[in-house]
Chain A
């Protein structure tokens, strides 16, 4: 069958015109304004979710399979029956942070999700078990960080501290001199500053009508 079939024709790759433009790894066209790659940023998401079996595994699974870097994840009940609040601290470059919010919003049990502002009120709780050889000094440091002694014996002393991440980090450093045997940190939980709503879904005295803020954003 040798008819007029010639095979693919046309200028070879290096004979074609090629534009000068480029995009960076985030798919943004490189221009002076957007030339730099984005640095990872640490931020806090708060989500109201339906309290159903497997919801935490869905959130954690989503983060794992899309390679989102989670620093901490906490979950607990809210004032609305059947709704829980998840607080998630992540560290990602900018487009990744946007993706986390949008992907979380797609999960069926997620009623609302939002990134908290910098002025959000944040706290975490830590339990520290240290050697009990110097109880007076341990007590003094505990007082200094507004902590409480939960358990004290001849061998070990266990204290509880709470506060923002920076304070906890400082306190942990301060306790190192006694020899920290075990540590348990809850990870951050947070609410928006003042009367600002953290995310919809838990209005005091209301049932919290489910809303999905993501659907009207880009």
Chain B
């Protein structure tokens, strides 16, 4: 329990987060009503940074059992809340003051929006009568965040602000999850009210349809029955809908091979015979072969991102597409859906399963997929005369940690290697920035994941040198809260994915890509109060990992890896998945 109890800012609360609703906040003002609404919604933890306009909310939190984790930067608060939500399955909550506090949240909110992660952001605002006057630390926060939230609210009265916060919390989780924001003018927070907030409900105009229409289910089932090369594509929606069990059962019962998207990693155990891992730009060769040759792609909870599809003209070119999604706007947005099924992922799969007369006869196809697995194995060369390979580090970490370890990452080459060479077997264990591609996500996400996870779970952050440097200040939070996190930096002294693209597409002009000016991360970690190691050779890898994992607190291992190593396979941008390159000369 140490890291949980150490976190609370309330000197009176000694039992941490587990008894958050024992003494509900007494409602005397807008801000106490806000905190009460959070308590009513079951919020146990919030991440944030103090500041002028949000002070009344923090003052109300002083008396609440909600645990507050002070972050070093508001971006970190948004990422931590995002990751907390991914691991827990409930919306994460973050707080920031007006102006720069709110704008610093923006990257994290945009990240949550792109990955459909449920996050509630509460921002302070200047008093109502000063709005529009360019007051100190005033920003049009609802204006700035409108394009990157499901909806945002400008609180207008202390009597209703609790209802608004409850609604925003519920809306974040409703249907397709996403971020919501409530902007809280200081007078609304400070002014008196004794009104109890009503139950937290998503607005009537935003209720999602969960049970699909009979006609859609029937049409989808007929298409699957007649398929000869059926392929399941599990997206992040399978994980978010907690549909993993139903989805896995459907795949194994009908013997249909599975590929996932990156956010869908863990929806199917990657060591399962039928699992072809993830498809797309740096996905496995066998996943991309299967997607290229399937005649019936059953896609669940995915938005057909361009990094998955490559060029639309050559995406699953032979396939009829069954698209199950809870958001009707995703149907036929990027790829035409021949058989749309709008509804909750788990419910829709159950309904299609019940409607299916017989399993498709796909024995030959399954054999073909297994053959591709042998034909295009994931592997990397590691000759004696070359430096430590990053993929080896990922494998060694996977080997040294329990099966259900939570892995967060930044964005870039290290993220791809982590996703390629870590074998994930459960959902909500791979926590990364997919749609927005936010470098710096890894460390604050590890903090959020650590706070969300049970004490006996392991949390590892696989980071890059450039990504780590972007949010490195959050290490101070991990130290202050004594969070048991192991950060593994795959340090190649480059913003590596850019360097790889410069070599492949810009004739090797490595403009602004070199990062050999990075600090000594082991010493920096020690300066923060964490433990640090530097690893240069294969021999040092197991020992450093063992020591770092054994240390009960934040630890940083700076792995100096081969700066020349590239991420392959690779589908060139806009190219055909089936033409993935195995090396640069095949691009």
- Chain A positions within 8 Å of B, measured between CB atoms, are 1-3, 5-13, 16-29, 50, 53-54, 57-58, 61, 65, 95, 98-99, 102-103, 105-111, 210, 212, 214-218
| Contact, CB under 8 Å: A9 / B376 | yes
Report chain B residues within 8 Å CB of A7: 379-381, 583
Report chain B residues within 8 Å CB of A57: 143, 146
Stretch of B53-61, B122-130, B325-333, B357-365 on the interface side? B325-333
| Interface SS of B by simple majority | loop
| Contact, CB under 8 Å: B146 / A58 | yes
Shortest distance in angstroms between B166's beta carbon and chain A's nearest beta carbon? 15
| Contact, CB under 8 Å: B332 / A212 | no
| Contact, CB under 8 Å: A108 / B147 | no
Report chain A residues within 8 Å CB of B581: 13
Inter-chain CA distance A26–B313, complex, in Å, is: 9
Given A23-B313, A53-B154, A108-B206, A10 and B382 contact (CB-CB distance below 8 Å): no
Which of the residues B171, B338, B538 comes within 8 Å of A1, measured between beta carbons?
B538
| Contact, CB under 8 Å: B317 / A27 | no
Besides A1-B392, A5-B379, A106-B206, 9 new A-B residue pairs in contact (Cβ under 8 A), listed by A number? A8-B583, A10-B582, A20-B317, A29-B336, A99-B333, A111-B205, A212-B207, A215-B208, A218-B331
Q: Max chain B CB contacts within 10 Å: which of A22, A24, A109?
A: A22
| Contact, CB under 8 Å: A16 / B289 | yes
Residue of A nearest to B329 (CB): A102
Q: Max chain B CB contacts within 10 Å: which of A26, A27, A29, A57?
A: A27
Shortest distance in angstroms between B278's beta carbon and chain A's nearest beta carbon? 16
Report chain B residues within 8 Å CB of A1: 382, 384, 389, 392, 538
Q: Max chain A CB contacts within 10 Å: which of B213, B313, B337, B576?
A: B313
Q: Max chain B CB contacts within 10 Å: which of A5, A10, A26?
A: A10
| Contact, CB under 8 Å: B376 / A8 | yes
State which residues 187-212 of B face A: CB under 8 Å.
Answer: 203-209
Report chain A residues within 8 Å CB of B335: 23, 27
Q: Is B450 interfacial (CB 8 A cutoff)?
A: no
Q: Max chain B CB contacts within 10 Å: which of A9, A26, A53, A215?
A: A215
Report chain A residues within 8 Å CB of B315: 23, 27
Inter-chain CA distance A81–B216, complex, in Å, is: 37
Query: What 0/1 pattern do residues 295 to 334 of B give for CB contact below 8 A with A?
Result: 0000000001000000011110111100000011101111
Report chain A residues within 8 Å CB of B328: 102, 105, 214-215, 217-218
Q: Is B4 interfacial (CB 8 A cutoff)?
A: no
Q: Is B578 interfacial (CB 8 A cutoff)?
A: yes
Inter-chain CA distance A9–B375, complex, in Å, is: 7
State which residues 128-153 of B face A: CB under 8 Å.
Answer: 142-143, 146-147, 150-151
Q: Is B347 interfacial (CB 8 A cutoff)?
A: no
Ranked nearest first, the 8 interchain pairs of A and B with the lowest CB-CB distance are A21-B317, A7-B381, A27-B335, A102-B329, A108-B151, A218-B340, A10-B376, A28-B336
Shortest distance in angstroms between B105's beta carbon and chain A's nearest beta carbon? 19
Which of the residues B320, B332, B384 comes within 8 Å of A98, measured between beta carbons?
B332
Report chain A residues within 8 Å CB of B332: 26-27, 95, 98, 218
Inter-chain CA distance A207–B150, complex, in Å, is: 26
Inter-chain CA distance A100–B332, complex, in Å, is: 12
Q: Max chain B CB contacts within 10 Å: which of A2, A53, A65?
A: A2
Shortest distance in angstroms between B98's beta carbon and chain A's nearest beta carbon? 18
